[in-house]
Structure 1
Amino acid sequence: MAKRKETVRRRAVTRAGIKRPTDTGETVDKIAAKLAASAGAMPKHAKAGAVVELALKDIRVAGKVFQWKNPGMVPSDDHIFDLAKATQNTGVLDPILVLPVADKYYVIDGHHRLAAYITAEWKGGIRAIVFNGSLDEAVREALRTNNKNKLSMTTADRTAAAWRLVKLGKPGAWPDSISEIAEMCVIGETTVDRMRAIWTTLHNGQYEGIEDLSWKQARDTAAGKDRQAFDEESWLEERARNLADDIRRYKLALSRNPEITALALEMLDPGLPAELMAHWEPRRPFDPTQMAEEELDEEGQPRPF
C-alpha cells in the first residue's frame, strides 16, 4: 500500500494576528556602552556592507534609538499584513539594515519587514545589510530612511525628530547644523532655530529632566508654567489631535487606498489636496529668478509690498 504523502498546513496570516518584535527599550547611551565594551569588535560574518542571513534570535530592536515615527499615529498593521503575506507567497523580503553591536544586530531600517517575518512565522534566515558607520551615523540613517519609505512621516513625527536631534547637542556644541537638521527632518530652518533657542534657555536655566521634555513641554517650560499667552503651535497640535482621534474613532482607513482618500477629500473641498501638498512640501530657498517681472524692480530685486 502506497504511503500517503503528508502535507504541511501553513497558518493563515490575519490582521488580528499581527505580531511585532520585542523592543529592548535601550537608549543611545546604553548601546554606545556596549560598543565601547566590545572594543569595536563585529559579530562573526558581519563584514560592513555585506548581505548576510541572520537568525531571529540575533536581531534586536531599540525603538528609542532607531525608530522616528510615533507608533500610535502610524497605521502600520495593513503594511505588516501585506508584507507577511508576501513572505508566504514569494519568500524573503528586501534586506533589512542592521548595526552590529557586540554579538547582536540592531535594526536601523526594516522594522515592518521584521514584524512581517514574525507574523508569518518565518523559519528561514533573515536577509540583512550590515551598516558601515558609527552609532551616530546609524541613528541619522534611520531618520533618512524613515522619511523616504512608504509610510511617510507625519508633520508631528518630523517635528519630534528635529527636536530629538537638537537635544543631542549642547549650546555651542551642536553635532548637526540647522540646515542639516532641516534637511533630514524635512522641516523649516526657522523652526529648528527656535528649537535651539529654547534648548539653550532650558540649559541656562538649569531645569531638571529637560532631556525627557517633548517639544511642546519644552516651549511651555521655557515660557513659564503660569504664563497664559496664546500658543499657536499648541493650539494647532490640540485641534489636529482631536481630528486624528475622530478619524480613528470612526475607523476611517485613510491610508488603505490613498487614491480613494484623495478623491474623497477633493469632493469635500476641491482646493484641499493642493493646500495639503503645499503644507507638506519642504520649504525651498527664496529664488528671485522665479518671480514674475512685475514683482521685481529695475535692479532685479523684489518690490516692497
Structure 2
Amino acid sequence: MLTTERETAGEQGPVMRNSEPPAHARARRKSEAAAVRTHALVRLDRITRTDDFTFRRKRLDRHHKADLAGHIRGTGKPLDPVLLWRDASAEDGDAAPLVLLDGAHRIAAYKTANWSKPVPAIVLTCDRRAALLAALGHNARHVLPLSQMERMDAAWRLVRETVEPPYTRAEIVGLAAVSKRTVNYMRRRWAEMRAADEEPCGEWFRDRSGRVNDYEMALDMTDAQRHREIEALATDIRDVLDRRKRPEKAILVDSYAVNEAIVTALGDPRFKQIAEWFVGGRDNLDEWVADVNEWDDADDGDDEDAPF
C-alpha cells in the first residue's frame, strides 16, 4: 500500500547532496521525462532488489550504512526518498513489484536501525529502458558515486541492452561519464562478440579484447577518480593480508612468507617496475642494487672474521 508523502512533510533527514556534472543532470532529467513520478511512503517489505539495476561491484559500505543508521536512531526521522521503479506494462497496477533503483545504503540503514514505519520514496512508473537510465543517473550523482570500473561496466551494459529504441551514444556518455571513443569501442566489441557468438560476462575489463582500451580508460579518469581507485585497490590488498580479518590463514603471521607470496604473485617484471618507481627510475634502481650488493659483501666479510 502506498500513501502520499505529504503526510510527513518536513520530517525527513538531511538531504544527501553531491555535485552533479551538467552532462549527468541533462541525461538524467531526459531519462526521467517519460516516467510518471509519484512521491509515496512505502513499507520496506514492498521493496525488492535485483542485480539488473545494480551498478556497483562492491558490497555495501558498512561505515556509510552505520552513519545513516546512527542518524535514524538519533533523530527518529527518515532519510531522503529512495528511488523505486514500477513497470508501466505490469498488469497488476499498484500491486506491481517496486524495484529499488537507488538507495541501497538507506534501505540497509533502515533495517539496521529496526525502522518499522513506511519510508519516503519516489516511484517511477515507466518502461525498463527509462528505469535503467534513471538508476544509473542517480547512482552517479549521490554521496557514493560509481567507481571508474563500475561506470565502465554500466556503459557496457547499456551498449548490450536490448531495448527499443537502443540507447544513444549521448545517453551512455552523459550518464556513465565515459568518453565517446570508449562507447564506440564497446559497440565494435559487442558486434564482434555477437558475430562470434561469444557470451559476455558483464564485466568490461574481462569482455574487452586486446590492450588498446587500457589507455582510453586511463584518459577517462580525473586525478581525483584515479586517487579513489588507488585507495580502493589498496584497501582490497590490505584486507587480503590482514590476519585479523583472515584468522584461518595462519601463514599471515609469517612476514617473510607473506613477502615471498607477494613477490611470487607479482612476478619479476611487475616487481621490478615497482622497485623502479620506488627509487625514482631505472638508473637509481641500478645504483641502489649496487649499494645493496656492497653492503652484503661487507657483511659477509665481517662474518668471516668474527670470532664467534
Q: TM-score range by the shorter chain?
A: 0.5 to 0.7
Q: Secondary structure at the match of 2:150?
A: helix
Q: CA deviation at 1:135?
A: 2.1
Q: Distance in 2 between matches of 1:242 and 1:84?
A: 27
Q: Does 1:67 align with 2:59?
A: no
Give the corresponding residue for 2:121.
128
Q: Is the 8 A contact 2:38 2:122 kept in 1?
A: yes
Q: CA deviation at 1:50?
A: 2.8
Q: Residue type matched to 1:193 in 2?
A: N
Q: Residue type matched to 2:39 in 1?
A: V
Give the structure, 1 or 2, with the largest relative contact order (CA under 8 Å, sep 6 or more). Answer: 2
Q: Distance in 2 between matches of 1:167 and 1:196?
A: 8
Q: CA deviation at 1:189?
A: 0.7
Give the corresponding residue for 1:233.
214
Q: Does 1:54 align with 2:42?
A: yes
Give the corresponding residue for 1:217.
206
Give the corresponding residue for 1:86.
71
Structure with bigger gyration radius = 2
Q: Distance in 1 between matches of 2:168 and 2:182?
A: 13
Specify which of 99, 106, 131 is matched with residue 85 of structure 2: 99
Q: CA deviation at 1:198?
A: 0.6
Distance 1:160 1:121, change over 3 A: same
Q: Distance in 2 between matches of 1:143 and 1:199?
A: 20
Q: Residue type matched to 1:219 in 2?
A: R
Q: Distance in 1 between matches of 2:160 and 2:53?
A: 15
Q: Residue type matched to 2:37 in 1?
A: G
Specify which of 115, 119, 134 is matched with residue 141 of structure 1: 134
Q: Distance in 1 between matches of 2:178 and 2:188?
A: 16
Per-residue CA deviations over 1:182-231 (Å, capped at 9, x if unaligned) read 11100111011001001011112223x23x343233224xx6xxxxxx66
Distance 1:174 1:129, change over 3 A: closer
Q: Does 1:199 align with 2:186?
A: no
Q: Distance in 1 between matches of 2:128 and 2:134?
A: 10
Q: Distance in 2 between matches of 1:160 and 1:232?
A: 13
Q: Distance in 2 between matches of 1:169 and 1:95?
A: 30
Moved more, 145-154 or 47-56: 47-56
Matches within 5 A, 1:166-185: 166-169=159-162, 175-185=166-176
Q: CA deviation at 1:99?
A: 1.4
Q: CA deviation at 1:122?
A: 0.6
Q: Secondary structure at the match of 1:107?
A: strand
Matches within 5 A, 1:263-274: none
Cα RMSD of the aligned pairs, angstroms, is: 3.1
Q: Residue type matched to 2:181 in 1?
A: T
Specify which of 98, 103, 111 is matched with residue 110 of structure 1: 103
Q: Is the 8 A contact 1:166 1:174 kept in 2?
A: no
Structure 2, unaligned stretches of length 5 or more?
A: 1-34, 219-228, 243-308
Q: Secondary structure at the match of 1:121?
A: coil
Q: Secondary structure at the match of 2:121?
A: strand
Count matched residues. 189
Q: Does 1:77 align with 2:58?
A: no
Q: Distance in 2 between matches of 1:49 and 1:242?
A: 38
Q: Distance in 1 between matches of 2:183 and 2:42?
A: 39
Q: Distance in 2 between matches of 1:250 and 1:218?
A: 29
Q: Distance in 2 between matches of 1:232 and 1:134?
A: 32
Q: Secondary structure at the match of 2:98?
A: strand
Q: Residue type matched to 1:79 in 2?
A: H
Q: CA deviation at 1:145?
A: 0.5
Structure 1, unaligned stretches of length 5 or more?
A: 1-46, 224-229, 252-305
Distance 1:53 1:242, change over 3 A: closer
Q: Does 1:153 align with 2:153?
A: no
